Amino acid sequence: MTAGEKKVILASSLGTVFEWYDFYLYGSLATIIGAQFFSQFPKATADIFALLAFAAGFLVRPFGALVFGRLGDLVGRKYTFLVTILIMGLSTFVVGLLPGYNSIGVAAPIILIAARLLQGLALGGEYGGAATYVAEHAPQGRRGFYTSWIQTTATLGLFLSLLVILFTRTIFGEDAFKSFGWRIPFLVSVVLLGISLWIRLQLNESPAFLKMKEDGTGSKAPLSEAFGTWSNAKIALLALLGLTMGQGVVWYTGQFYALFFMQSILKVDGYTANLLIAWSLVFGTGFFVFFGWLSDKIGRKPIIMAGCLIAALTYIPLFQMITTKANPALEKALESVQVSVVANPAECGKLFNPVGTRVFTAPCDVSRDFLAKNSIRYTTTDAPAGSPVKIVINGQEFPAFDATGAADPKAAKADWDKNLLGALQAAGYPKAGDPGIVKMSNPFDIFNAQVASIIGLLFILVVFVTMVYGPIAAALVELFPTRIRYTSMSLPYHIGNGWFGGLLPATAFAMVAQTGDIYFGLWYPIVIAAVCFVIGVLFIPETKNRDIYAGD
C-alpha cells in the first residue's frame, strides 16, 4: 500500500468515524435531551416531538442518499463528502449550543429536530461517498481490504461516542451531566470536524471519476438512470433484498439490540452493559478488515451470505446463553413461574412504542406493557366478551389495573404496580439489583468469569457483524457503473440499514411485549437475514473480479 493510498483510507475513514460519532450521540443521550427540549409540552405534543426526533435520524437517511448520491455522480466524490461532513459537524455543534425550551420556547425543539434531519441527510450522503472514493482508489484485487477500513468506522464511531460520554459523566457527575455536561460531547465534535476537513481538503478526486469525465461518459441524470431504468433499478432492488437488508439487521442486532436486551430485558445496569459491548467491539473490530481481505480471496458473496445464515441459525441460543450468564435468577423464573393475562382479544391492542412515550389505558394493554417492561414471560388466554381482565401468577389471580373511578389514577397505578411486582418476586422473579446480575466494578474488570463469558458471547455477535459488513462496501461498489455508482449504492445501503436495521430495537421489543416471550423479538432479524440469504444466494452475482472502470 503506497503512502498516497494510506492517506486516502485514513482521510475517508477518519471523517466517517467522526460522522458516526456525531450521529450516535443523540441516540445515546436521547432521554436527557428529551428532558431539556420536550418535557415542558403537553404529553401528546411531547410524544410527537420525540417521535419526530427519533424518526428523523433513521428515516431521512435514504433521502440523503438520493440528494448527495446525485451530487456525487455529477460533480465528484471528494467535494460531495466534504459537504456532508460539514453539514454533520455543524448540525452536531448546534445541538451542543442550543438553548433549552425555558430559554427560547418552542424554537428549541424545532431547531433540534431540524438539526437531526440534517444529520440524517448528511449521513445518507457520507457513507456512499467514502466507500466509493476508497474503492475507486484501490488496485484491482484489493478493494475488499481497502474498503473494509471504511466498514470499521460505524463501530468505531459508536465506541468513541460511548467513551466520550462515559468520560464526561465521570468528570462532571450524573446531576451536572444531566444539567449541562451532556453538551460537552456535542461541542467536542467541532474539533473533530476541523481535523476531518483539513485532512480531506488535501485529497484529490478519485481516478475512476476523473477518467469518466475525461471520456465524457458521465450521467446527466443519475437519479432517473439509476432508478428509472429497470435494468439498473433491478440491481439496486436486489442489492437491498439480497445484501443490505440482511446486513442491516445483523449489524443492529449484534450491537444495538444486544445492548438494549441487556439493559431493558436482563436489567443489567447501563454502565456495565455499555462496557460489555465496548469490550466486545475492542476484540471484534479487527475482523472487519480480516473479512474484507478474505473477500478479495474467496469472494464477497460467500462471506456475507454465511454471516446472514449463521446469525439466523444461532441468535436464539446465543441470547439464551447471554441470559443464563447475565441474569441467572431471571432465567430460572422464566422457566418456573407461569404467568397469564386473561382477556377478551378484542380488548387488547398493539404495543408498538418506538420512543417509549405511549400511555396505555386498556386494562389488557396496561397489564401486558407492565409485564414486558419487567421482563416477565407470559401467555395470553382468551376470555369471553365483558369479562374483567386478570393476571394469573402460578394459579393466583390478580385484577388488571383499571383507572375508571380512581380518585387519583397515578397513585392507584403506582400501588397496583408495587403489589403486582411484589407477587411476581414472591413467585420467583428477581428483584432489581439482584446480586446474581452481572456487574462490572471498573472498565478493566474483565477477568471475572461471569463478565468474560458474556464478553465472549457478545464477541460472537460482533463477528457476525464483521462478516456481513466487512465486504459490503466493495460488493455494492462493484455492482454499479461509475456514472451512477454513488447514487445507486447509497440508496439500498441506507434503506437496509436505516429502515430495516434502525427500526429493529423498537420493533423487536414490540414483538416481545405482544407475545410475552423475551426472545420472540429475535424473529425479526432471523426472518430478514434468512430471506436475504435466499435472495442473495439465488440472485446476487459474485463481483470480486469485476473491473470497475469497465462499462462507464
pLDDT at 227 over 70: yes
**Whether pLDDT at 34 is above 80:** no
Spell 455-468 as b/e; 16+ CB within 10 A means b. Answer: bebbbbbbbbbbbb
Nearest to 33 by CA among 225, 183, 169, 176: 183
**In whole angstroms, what is the distance from residue 552 CA to residue 70 CA?**
16
Query: Tens digits of per-residue pLDDT, 60-111?
Result: 888 888 888 888 888 888 888 788 888 988 988 998 999 988 888 888 888 9
Residue 54 has pLDDT above 70, yes or no: no
Report how far residue 137's alpha carbon sits from residue 82's, in angstroms, rounded to the nearest whole number.
Answer: 17
Give pLDDT tens digits for 138-155: 888 899 999 999 888 888
The rounded distance, in Å, linking the Cα atoms of 475 and 151 is 12
Burial of 340 (C-beta count, 10 Å sphere; 0-12/13-18/19+): middle
Give the pLDDT mean for 480-498: 87
Q: How high is the pLDDT of residue 405?
A: 75
How large is the C-alpha radius of gyration of the chain?
25
What domains sit in the chain, N to C, each tagged with a CATH number? 1-224 (1.20.1250.20), 232-327+437-544 (1.20.1250.20), 336-427 (3.40.30)
Q: How far is CA 135 from the centre of its chain?
A: 25
Q: Label the pairing between strands 390-393 and 396-399.
A: antiparallel
C-alpha 201/C-alpha 191 separation (Å) is 16
Average pLDDT estimate for 189-201: 85
The pLDDT of residue 219 is above 80: no
Going from the C-alpha of 497 to that of each of 288, 323, 329, 469, 500, the distances in angstroms are: 17, 27, 35, 11, 6
pTM of the model: 0.87
Residue 58 has pLDDT above 60, yes or no: yes
Q: Tell me the CA distances in angstroms from 399 to 207, 324, 336, 345, 387, one per residue in order.
A: 71, 32, 22, 17, 11
Question: Which of 455, 135, 123, 447 lies closest to 268 in space, CA to CA?
Answer: 455
Q: Three-state DSSP class for 391?
A: strand
Which residues 6+ apart lie within 8 Å of 401 measured at CB?
Answer: 363, 366, 367, 370, 412, 413, 416
- pLDDT tens profile 444-463: 889 899 999 999 999 999 99
Question: Which phi and psi angles does 392 have, rounded to 5°?
Answer: -115, 120
Report the pLDDT value the prediction gives residue 532, as an integer from 0 to 100: 97
- Residues contacting 267, CB < 8 A, separation 6+: 327, 330, 375, 430, 432, 434, 437
Residues ≥6 apart with Cβ < 8 Å to 523: 511
pLDDT band at 357 (very low <50, low <70, confident <90, very high): low
Question: Under a CB-based contact definition with an 8 Å cutoff, are residues 155 and 226 in contact?
Answer: no
Mean pLDDT of all residues belonging to the chain: 87
Instruction: Please compute the mean of the pLDDT values over residues 30-56 and round it to a whole number.
Output: 71
Residues 6+ apart with CB under 8 A from 205: 76, 77, 78
Quick one: cell of 341? 393475562
Vertex 481: Cα angle to 479 and 487 (nearest 5): 85
pLDDT band at residue 36, thresholds of 50, 70 and 90? confident
pLDDT at 1: 63
Ramachandran class of 188: left when φ > 0, alpha when ψ lies in -120 to 50, beta otherwise: alpha
Residue 495 CB neighbours (<10 A): 23
CB neighbour burial string for 35-70, b if at least 16 within 10 angstroms, e if fewer:
ebbbebbeeeebbbbbebbbbbbbbbbbbbbbbbbb
> 20-34, 127-141, 329-343 — which is least confidently predicted?
20-34
The owner of cell 445464515 is: 309
Taking the C-alpha atoms of residue 463 and residue 288, their distance in angstroms, rounded to an integer, is 8
The pLDDT value given to residue 213 = 79
Report the first-to-last Cα separation within the chain, whole angstroms.
26
Specify the pairing of strand 339-343 against strand 379-382: parallel
User: Residue 286 and residue 458: Cα distance in Å, rounded?
Assistant: 15
Residue 51's pLDDT is what? 64
Do residues 223 and 154 lie in contact, with contact meaning Cβ atoms separated by under 8 Å? no
pLDDT tens-place string over residues 516-542: 899 999 999 999 999 999 999 999 999
335 in Cβ contact with 320 (< 8 Å): no
Most confident segment among 144-158, 200-214, 410-424: 410-424
Higher pLDDT, 116 or 289: 289
Q: Which DSSP state fits 137?
A: H
> What is the share, in percent, of the chain residues with pLDDT greater than 90?
40
- H or E stretch covering 290: helix 286-298
- Residue 382 has what DSSP assignment? E
